[in-house]
Amino acid sequence: MERTPGVSTTVLGADEIILNMGPQHPSTHGVLRVKLKLDGEKVIGSECIIGYLHRGVEKIGENRIYAQFAPYVDRTDYVAAVSNGLGYCQAVEMLLGTEAPPRAAWVRTILTELQRIASHLLWLGTHALDIGAITPLFYTFREREEILKIFEKYCGARLTTHAFRIGGLLYETYDGFEEDVKRFCQDLDKKIAEYEDLLTENRIWVERTRNIGVLSAEEAIDLGVTGPVLRASGVKWDIRKAFPYAAYDKFEFEIPTGRNGDTYDRYLVRMEEMRQSRRIILQAIESIPEGPIMARIGKVLKPPPGEVYHSIEAPKGELGYYIVSDGSVQPYRLRIRPPSFINLEAFDKMVRGHLVADVVAIIGTLDIVLGEVDR
Amino acid sequence: MTDDEKKEQPSPEKPAEALPDEEKRPVEAAKPAAPAPKPAAAKPPAKAAPPKPEPLDNELVRRLRARFGEAIGDATTDRKQAIVVVASERLLETCQYLRDEEKFNLLTDLTAVDWYDRRPRFDVILNLYSFQHNQRLRLKAPVDDTCPSVTSVWGTANWLERECFDMFGIRFAGHPDLKRILMPDEWRGHPLRKDYDILKQDTDWVRENLGIESGQ
């Protein structure tokens, strides 16, 4: 496959200018700085400058005991904290050679799928806002609020939840958990239809997103993108199906895919993913098994020496944890494979040849969170 | 993915285990007892079966050995995950072969581990995935400070190698634009090395750019 080589953003031709966007720019969703090389309004090259939010999360992980690090992972992708927690806890469980009991797996699945919906809702609201559609933001935040309320009732926190523990769950579900989740899911279909009414056939929306930031399946795989970005390019791959974890192998759901790999398809894929998440939750909520919520893992976690790579399908893509244990209470090496970071790498490829106004659409469609890009 | 491909997957990360009988246990029976007995944990303690790295000898490893001979070192499985050690001199060729012939077309992750006292000091870790076989493979290349770049094989490697260089100071020979990615360009030191203390920082940089004595 032919790759387009990088374009220098320091050497300029006669008609070319450099435009700096960010790091303090509302549509960069955090502190992303993009250097755009322009010919008139056309982007001919770009460079992402990241690291403004780098906190050395991996280094911190190597200097904390396993359980202490769990709240830190919430602060990488801070709009999908529950998913991060699931990935990390399961990775450590695999390292220990144990597994959460079924009841915990069920509750984890439900909360993680709620988190996926919440993350996609936040993405939809802000992405539409970037492109100029203000209304969806108010609707999506209304529904997201309901999910955050469920989290708050469950574990007391709304954003950085630390909902799971290594080995299972700390908290039993609260009285009325099932009803709350069911009530939310019952309305969700109608709500998603409302968003679709606002956008899917909206002419401005379609013009601004169709054929913008196209990635072919081959390019997407070469650039390593995962999650909805990969699926919109037509690759039917989802870790929940490929390597089922938690209780995903017990439920029926489809993997939505797109055909053109453009911003519009990525929008459609994420909308359908919300419906599929709802489907998973409704199946799971009816069948939560009774039993313990915590595996017996002991007070001090000392995984046997060795290493493990475990990844989950986070709302943004493949979120992996590679942990090397030397048998002590701290990880010897803790690597987070961040979906946002690797998806953002495709930005340069996607933005070439488009207009400056499309840049915000492409940043939005990648659904990046800078906390996770920079770690 | 077709059903056939799913069947081929060698070891799903989660063993397909029947649901424990917890579900069917008569819950009512336990209730009347005044101090409710703590429900028994679902699993015996983890110590019962400590997972050990085991030698791996499958078709893929045999093909790799036949083709690259001495360059392929130990092949093991740890927690049911396949790991193959590759000499860094032939890493690029091996990767090219794995992508083209064995269809490991996704580079999931590239990172490094600092073994500090060992020579060669670092392990460069590549996590590969094959859509066709629904299979993962982890390559380990022991290196001292330079490693061949695999950017020509997988486009993803570009940023990942930059991050690896930034954090560990490993130079990737053949990388088109090897520079820092997360730390400031002028920063001295590579934070994820084991001899870089967690409280350590480039005080000159901090003083000059932030106008403070210490970031701690």
Three-state DSSP state, B148: strand
**Pair of tokens at residue A24:** 């303090």
Q: Are A18 and B188 in contact (CB under 8 A)?
A: no
Quickly count: other Cβ atoms within 10 Å of residue A285's Cβ.
Answer: 20
CB contact under 8 A, A54 and B45: no
Q: Are A45 and A56 in contact (CB under 8 A)?
A: no
Q: Are A110 and A284 in contact (CB under 8 A)?
A: yes
Cα separation, A140 vs A143, in Å, equals: 5
**Pair of tokens at residue B61:** 């490893």
A341 contacts in chain B (CB < 8 Å): 159, 163
Among A92, A307, A312, A324, the residue to mutate for chain B (most B Cβ within 10 A): A307
Q: Write the CB contacts of A371 (distance below 8 Å, at least 6 apart in sequence).
A: A30, A53, A75, A76, A77, A78
CB contact under 8 A, A94 and B155: no
**Confidence grade of residue B46 (pLDDT, cut at 50, 70, 90):** very low
Q: Are B40 and B22 in contact (CB under 8 A)?
A: no
Question: Quick check: B204 pLDDT over 90?
Answer: no
**B23 vs A290, A297, A306: nearest CB:** A290
Cα separation, B15 vs A352, in Å, equals: 45
Which CATH number is A57-374 given?
A: 1.10.645.10
**Confidence grade of residue B160 (pLDDT, cut at 50, 70, 90):** very high
Locus of tokens 């069947």: B7
Is the Cβ of B106 closer than 8 Å to some Cβ of chain A?
A: yes
DSSP annotation string for A124-187: HHHHHHHHT--HHHHHHHHHHHHHHHHHHHHHS-SSS---EETTEESSPPPTTHHHHHHHHHHH
Question: Quick check: B12 pLDDT over 60?
Answer: no
pLDDT digits (tens, 9 = 90+) for B59-89: 888 888 888 888 888 888 888 888 999 998 8
Cα separation, A91 vs A333, in Å, equals: 13
Cα separation, A104 vs A174, in Å, equals: 14
Residue A9 or residue B159, greater confidence: B159
Query: H-type helices in chain B, by residue range?
Result: 3-8, 27-30, 59-68, 91-100, 157-168, 203-210
ipTM, two decimals: 0.86
B134 contacts in chain A (CB < 8 Å): 242-243
Residue of B31, B113, B133, B60 whose CA lies nearest to A62:
B113
Measure A213 CA to nearest chain B CA, in Å: 17
Long-range contacts of A151-158 (CB under 8 A, 24+ apart): A151/A82, A151/A111, A151/A114, A153/A177, A153/A180, A154/A111
pLDDT, position A107: 92
Structural domains for chain B: 54-181 (3.30.460.80)
Cα separation, A301 vs A93, in Å, equals: 10
- For chain B, the average pLDDT equals 77
pLDDT, position B216: 66
The angle formed by the CA atoms of residues B33, B38 and B42, to the nearest 5 degrees, is: 130
Domain ranges in chain A are: 57-374
pLDDT digits (tens, 9 = 90+) for B172-200: 988 888 889 998 888 888 999 988 888 88
Q: Which of residues 84-103 of B touch A (CB under 8 A)?
A: none
pLDDT tens for each residue of chain A, 375 residues long: 667 677 776 777 778 888 888 787 776 677 888 888 888 888 988 888 998 889 889 999 999 999 899 999 998 888 889 999 999 999 999 988 888 899 999 999 999 999 999 999 999 999 998 888 888 899 999 999 999 999 999 988 888 888 898 988 888 888 889 899 999 998 898 989 988 888 888 888 998 898 898 999 999 999 999 999 999 999 999 999 889 988 898 898 999 998 888 999 999 999 999 999 999 999 999 888 888 888 888 888 888 888 899 999 999 999 999 999 988 899 999 999 999 999 999 998 899 889 988 898 898 898 888 888 888
Is the Cβ of B116 closer than 8 Å to some Cβ of chain A?
A: no
- For A60, the closest chain B residue by CA position comes to B198
Distance from the Cα of residue A357 to its chain's centroid: 24
B137 forms beta bridges with: B128
pLDDT, position A276: 92
Cα dihedral A196→A198→A202→A208 (10° resolution): -90
Residue of A246, A247, A226 whose CA lies nearest to A236:
A226
C-alpha distances in Å from residue A296, one per residue of A97, A101, B210: 11, 10, 48
Question: Quick check: B9 pLDDT over 60?
Answer: no
CB pairs under 8 A between A and B: 165
pLDDT, position A113: 92
Torsions phi, psi for A129 (to 5 deg): -60, -40
**Pair of tokens at residue B24:** 């069917």
Cα separation, B191 vs B169, in Å, equals: 9
Q: Write the CB contacts of A313 (distance below 8 Å, at least 6 apart in sequence).
A: A227, A238, A239, A240, A319
